[in-house]
Chains A and B, each alone.
With several copies, the nearest count.
Chain A
Amino acid sequence: MALTTDTKKDIYRTMFLAQAWEQALLRLMDENLAPASYHPGRGSEGTEVAATAALRPDDYLLYDHRGMAHIIAKGVSLVELFGDFLGNDLGTTGGLGAGIVHVCKPELGVLGQSGTLGGSQLIAAGAALSSKLRHTEQVTMCFFGDGAANRGTFHEAANAAGAWKLPLVFVVQNNGWAVSVPTSYSTGGTFHDRAIGYGMTGYEVDGQDPFAVYEVAEEAVERARSGGGPSLIEAHTVRLTGHYASDPDGYRSAEVRAAYAEKDPIVKARLMLLEQGLATEDELRGMEQTALDEVQTARDKALTGTKPGAERLHQRVYV
């Protein structure tokens, strides 16, 4: 799918929606209705939405712990997402979640989350192997941060993907930090260079520019789908907040944080749409209001869900 004006608008709309959803979640936390453990995605919506937008509905997504924008872009309903965080029966896992949730929606290719970072890299390689062996032309996309990229799991997944030309796209969201540790301190070399050593194509892209992300993602996804093998996209993003919702973020200086604040991909995308004459201010406002209404409706609906009782504990552990 080419990067048409509609695609651009859709990317913007989804970024805005994801952000609005996240604000609503944080409000639920303030109101003590949802548990306060969440890794906000503010700053990385550009990468998450635009890369995911290059996927087909039946492609597989292994999202990461930061934000929910990729999951929203893949089509999981806001009610289900709220339900997962509220821990009630409207969530995809039927109330097992709450906290840093595991969202799972196999019909949409959303396979779930590994709470240990890096676990999803291997599962992604397995899913990609599976679609290759089943000849389904499905592509698997796997998101993770600069920190998680340094787990050995990446090496094993990337090597298998490279050796067997698996239909897999790794997206490294490099926001420069893993909790308090700067990427420059913890990392030798660069992530996109690492691609070469596995016989993969490596891309470096500005994650603040969702349209640029979409273009490389589309190329990588098409390569994967047509049998050309895996790719790795290193997207430079920012973490506009603390690591988790209540992280005081004291290990990053005021200047560092201020510099990041200039790099909001949602602001940037909006500006590009206006400057390139692709949308009017009114149109965008309308779009935004619709998104806010959608979030409000979903929140109201989700709050009507029922929390599971003790009987839920032993369900679905054995078939």
Chain B
Amino acid sequence: MREITYMQAINEAMAEEMERDERVILMGEDVGAMGGIFGVTTGLFDRFGPDRVLDTPISEMFIVGGAVGAAMTGLRPIAELQFADFIWNAADETYAKMSKWRYMHGGQVTVPMVLRLPEGATGGGGAEHSGCPEASMLPHPGAHIVVPSTPADAKGLLKSAIRSDDPVAFFEHKMLYATKGPVPEGDHLVPIGKADIKRPGTDVTVVAWGRMVSLALQAADRAAADGHEVEVLDTRGLRPLDVPAILASVEKTGRLLIVQEAPKSGGGASEIAAIVAEEGLDLLEAPIRRIGAADVPIPQNAELERFAIPTVDDVQVAIKELLA
């Protein structure tokens, strides 16, 4: 199969869906002629024109709230925040408007939109440009939370997200943009909310999503060298969360490590750990382990950042300890 980057996969998904459905529009800062500050929307402005690809003002509340209004009235916007951290600049619009409007109004309208959120630490972005806030959406039901880890998933999940009549928050890790992988041509769809075993194993389950999947896979390689079979379960997001898949894996391995890039406190790892402690406690042969960033604002100094963010070594050590 051909190999393309995660970024190309996302671009392709948007292009195909915009081709397929003229109600799909794209809006965000610099998504037009420039093709986005990370280049993700390259070529779309030339291809679909200024009425389908809109450079917005620096107005995050308008980007999200405006997309909600457009989604309710016949369009299917893909709105982009330049950094996922800017979700805080449009939090009410995201949590209370995008996610809740349909329910609050008795289901009279749908809000078919995708909010694209480039996330994660990249070496020097600092406390306000490095976040992975996917779990912040958990207490605000109504939107799906999708976090792809590979180019194929990115394409297939984004296409599903664009076609969904539910709003979808789509988190793309900036450090994955340049990573390559096989991606089927054409109408490749991945269902939202189905976990994927990225590597089967029998000794430890590592649950991860987004960029942390690749750390988990690297650590699993190292563990394999020591003769341990690590199962890497990619949740592909947090809502819907594929709890049966997680429990099935823990049933097999008896040991659970959850890895997230967000600070350890208050993230998706906590939620998954809690669910397993409730629903699968007797499956566990060892305490659950969580790995996350240090509970500090991410420093701008890239060297300090490295101390703050989970590494393959961290994952490897935790796996060893779980097996000890």
Which A residues lie at the B interface, using CB under 8 A?
Answer: 35, 37, 60, 87, 91-102, 104-106, 111-112, 114-119, 121-131, 133-134, 147-148, 150-153, 155-157, 159-160, 163, 178-181, 185-187, 250-251, 307-308, 310, 312-319
Given the complex, which residues of B lie within 8 Å of A308, measured CB to CB?
301, 303-304
**A315 vs B307: C-alpha distance in the bound complex, in angstroms?**
13
Return chain A residues, CB-CB under 8 Å to B77: 126
Residue contact B29 to A178, C-beta cutoff 8 Å: yes
> Contact: B107 with A127, CB < 8 Å?
no
Which of A122, A134, A153, A308: most chain B Cβ within 10 A?
A: A122
CB-contact partner of B96 in A106, A112, A115, A126, under 8 A? A115
Which 10 residue pairs of A and B lie closest in terms of their CB atoms, listed nearest first?
A126-B69, A122-B65, A93-B106, A316-B107, A115-B128, A99-B124, A180-B34, A126-B66, A104-B105, A123-B69
Is the CB–CB distance between A163 and B106 below 8 Å? no
Binds A, one of B81-89, B222-230, B249-257, B283-291: B81-89
Q: Provide the residues of chain B in CB contact with A307, threshold 8 Å.
A: 301, 303
Q: How far is the CA of A252 from the CA of B108 in the complex (A)?
A: 39
CB neighbours of B29 from chain A (8 A): 178-179, 181
Residue from A117, A130, A157, A313 in contact with B62 in the complex, judged by beta carbons closer than 8 Å: A157
User: Could you list 20 further interchain pairs (A-B, Cβ under 8 angstroms) beyond the known A93-B106, A127-B70?
Assistant: A96-B105, A104-B109, A112-B72, A119-B65, A121-B65, A122-B64, A125-B62, A126-B72, A130-B69, A147-B58, A150-B59, A156-B59, A181-B32, A181-B55, A250-B34, A313-B299, A314-B294, A317-B103, A318-B142, A319-B164
B78 adjacent to chain A (CB < 8 Å): no
Known: A127-B70, A157-B62, A319-B166. A314 touches B101 (CB 8 A): no
Q: With A114-B97, A317-B103 as known contacts, state yes or no: A96 contacts B301, CB within 8 Å.
A: yes
**C-alpha spacing A315/B88, complex, angstroms:** 25
Would A186 and B55 be within 8 Å (CB), given that A130-B69, A308-B301 are in contact? yes
In the complex, the answer to whether A119 meets B97 with C-beta atoms within 8 Å is: yes
Task: Pick 13 A–B contacts, CB within 8 A, sort by A.
Answer: A93-B107, A93-B108, A97-B106, A104-B105, A115-B129, A126-B62, A126-B66, A148-B58, A152-B59, A156-B57, A160-B66, A180-B34, A317-B296
Q: In the complex, are the beta carbons of B108 and A130 less than 8 A apart?
A: no
Least Cβ distance of B58 to chain A in Å?
4
Cα–Cα distance between A124 and B56 once the two chains are bound (Å): 16
State A185–B55 Cα separation when bound (angstroms). Answer: 8
CB <8 Å contact, A87 and B301: yes
Does B43 lie at the interface of the complex (its beta carbon under 8 Å from any beta carbon of A)?
no
Contact of B33 among A98, A126, A180 (CB under 8 A): A180
> How far, in whole Å, are A123 and B63 apart by their CA atoms in the complex?
10
Asked if B34 contacts A179 (CB within 8 A), the reply is yes
**Do A116 and B307 touch (CB < 8 A)?**
no
Chain B min CB distance to A81 (Å): 13
Cα separation A140 to B137 with both chains bound (whole Å) = 30
* Nearest opposing residue in chain B for A103, CB measure: B105
- Contact with A156, one of B62, B88, B164 (Cβ below 8 angstroms): B62
Pick from B58, B74, B105, B299: contact of A150, CB under 8 Å: B58
Question: For the complex, what is the distance from the CA of A126 to the CA of B299, rounded to whole Å?
Answer: 25
CA distance A126 to B75 in the complex (A): 10
Complex Cα distance, B300 from A92, in Å, reads 13
Question: What is the bound-complex CA distance between A250 and B30, given in angstroms?
Answer: 12
Tell me the bound Cα distance from A25 to B266 in angstroms.
39
Contact B108 A160 (CB under 8 A): no
Is B265's beta carbon under 8 Å from chain A? no
Minimal Cβ-Cβ distance residue in B for A183: B57
B278 interface hit (Cβ, 8 Å): no
Name the residue on B nearest A185 (C-beta).
B55
User: What's the minimum C-beta distance from B93 to chain A, rounded to whole angstroms?
Assistant: 6
Query: In the assembly, what is the distance between CA of A185 and CA of B74, in Å?
Result: 24
Q: Is B61 an interface residue when CB atoms closer than 8 A count as contact?
A: yes
